Chains A and B, each alone.
Chain A
Amino acid sequence: MIKIDDYRRVAPPGTVDIILRLAERVQGRRFTHVSGGRFGGGAAEMLRTIVPILADLGLDASWEITGGDPGFYSAGRALQQALEGTERVLTDEALDHYLEMNRINAKKLRLEADLVLVHDVQPASLVADRRGEGHWVWRCHFDCSRAQRRAWSFFGPVVKQYDGAVFSLPRFTHRIGVPLYIIHPSIDPLSDKNRDLSPREIASILGPLGVPTGRPLLLQVGPLTRDRDPLGVVNAYRLVKKSHPVCLVLAGSAGDDRESLDVLNDLREAARQDPDVIVLELPPDAHLQINALQRAATIVLQKSIREGFGLGVAEALWKGKPVIAGFAGGLPQQIVYDVTGYTVHSSEGAAFRIRHLLNNPELIARMGAAGREHVRRSFLTTRHLTEYLALLIHVTR
């Protein structure tokens, strides 16, 4: 198991000592996280790192998950999508079922703690059955500033029962009437997705994927859906291809809705017409493949038109790559313009910046180094742990 001391070689000097000192102040306190599942990316991916370390630091840390039938999960998913701004039909029956299943969950789960941090929508209504003296804080990992009105009129009274809420960015917040704390998400530098890989490991991972070497490689990682604008990336690549012998890799999983299937068909067609366009449909747990692709890339793109925090940018910066990103979600927060990469508003803008970097390779190295340092300070697990401990100290003071 990874220990906090393992992070000394990657975190900024003194950070681990700060964490140890903060943990001394909250020894034995109960810090319970609650989420809708243990698997997949996002909140669960971060909790798989953070909870064991909190326990190792001497806190009584635990991670509870809600369970239920398919109707519970589909209601929670639809509610979260509506809170993210997507038009969804929310029936009274489905919402009542969501509340009822969480009433049952509340009886089963161990929820007495000094701080109960409830992640996202699926377990959120557990707060209605809170017991004891502990503090309850809702941890929202998505942008709910443009929530559908019907969804918010149901969900607003739920989150008002919390003592506070944590959002990833100020612009992701919604008026709730409780203190709103801001804590960025993080990447784990020691995980398979981000740990160092030797050139031999990279070659052995990329060989079977058919990724060519020896030429500049442009990469975008993420769902192959309209929100991430992979077709815009292909258009930018085509503009660059006129002057540079580049390859483009689009890696991620496809959506299952009709619109996403249309996008995937267009991408497959583009790849059929041009062998230098490679579309890799990867499973969600392809962490080593993503790691190797990011390390092999010359420039990483994240040309989203709609995005959450978008930690793929931090992952690429950590690997010393300049990133060209769309102006969406948390992407501008991670890009220091002209220092670690560029934010752009169009395919033409992306193509211009790609050519600019390819024609000035010394910039690629300089931005890569600056990006890694930027992430070291701001987007690693260690900073996240520091702020969670500060939150525990602050709310239980």
Chain B
Amino acid sequence: MTPAADPRTRVADEPFAFFGCVELRQALDRQALDERELMDRLEEVPSGSIFYHTHGYFLRHRPVGMAYGNDFARWVAVDVRDQPLAERLALVDPFEWREIEDLREELITIVHDHLSRLSTVPRVEFGEAFHFQQSHIVEVPLGATARTLAEFRAGLSAVEASAIYFHMVEARARLGRPSGDFAEWLRSSLGLGELADRISRIDTYMTSLERVRARVLSLVDEVLERP
């Protein structure tokens, strides 16, 4: 980075390049009509499917939809109509788990524990089967780049919402960048470690991409407007 006393005016040697993403969904030949089948399929589907139905919910979730936190909780609530299990599944925050396999185990344990207390297995009567899917993420360079904090703010405020998902979720969970791209660049290229820490601690669970964008922008503004 170019030396400057105030990190807010530093110019990064490596610019930040904003990427969006498009999700191409793929159906798997796995479905569940009751909660035992859900548990069995959870054990055998590829990890990409667990990711799609948990982390991916954040990319697809729109403010007009009802909030369940992940596709499993939504299915149990809407199609099976088993509110007690839906509540427990909804509370699983996928962003708390570093490894997808640990997240898978947590989901299976919850369903197993729930079923062990019941005499019959709740099943779909009037709703739809749960169809397991996975997705292929196609990265899209958006052309926007930033070398300073002010440019970063301008770029972030304008890019398409999938960029928030790509840099905050996909980068952390599947691309091996555990702090997320925003925090990583602000720390390593602009020396803004405190800001990076605060951004990496943003709670992305049960919110929308636009709310996360607004939260990052407000944290950046706090630094830019500091006397």
Contact = CB atoms under 8 A, between A and B. Distances in A.
A14 B131 contact: no
B131 A170 contact: yes
Interface residues of B, number: 31
Contacts of B129: 171
B143 interface: yes
B34 interface: no
B105 interface: no
Contacts of B126: 327, 345
B20 A18 contact: yes
Contacts of A21: 20, 140-143
Interface string B1-36: 000000000000000000010111111010100000
B160 A394 contact: no
A181 B129 CA distance: 18
A393 B165 CA distance: 20
B215 to A, nearest CB: 18
Given A339-B64, A390-B22, A175 B29 contact: yes
A15 B78 CA distance: 30
A170 B22 contact: no
Interface band, chain A:
35 or more
Contacts of A180: 26-27, 29
A14 B210 CA distance: 13
A384 to B, nearest CB: 12
Contacts of B128: 171, 332
A271 to B, nearest CB: 32
A182 B26 contact: yes
Given A17-B143, A394-B138, 6 more contacts: A18-B142, A170-B133, A327-B126, A373-B63, A389-B22, A390-B22
Chain A to chain B: the 8 pairs with minimum beta-carbon distance, closest first: A14-B160, A170-B131, A182-B25, A170-B27, A180-B27, A390-B22, A390-B138, A370-B64
26 contacts: A12-B160, A13-B161, A15-B160, A17-B142, A17-B143, A17-B160, A18-B160, A22-B140, A167-B27, A170-B31, A171-B131, A173-B27, A175-B29, A180-B27, A180-B29, A181-B25, A181-B27, A182-B133, A183-B25, A337-B78, A339-B65, A378-B62, A387-B22, A390-B22, A390-B23, A390-B138
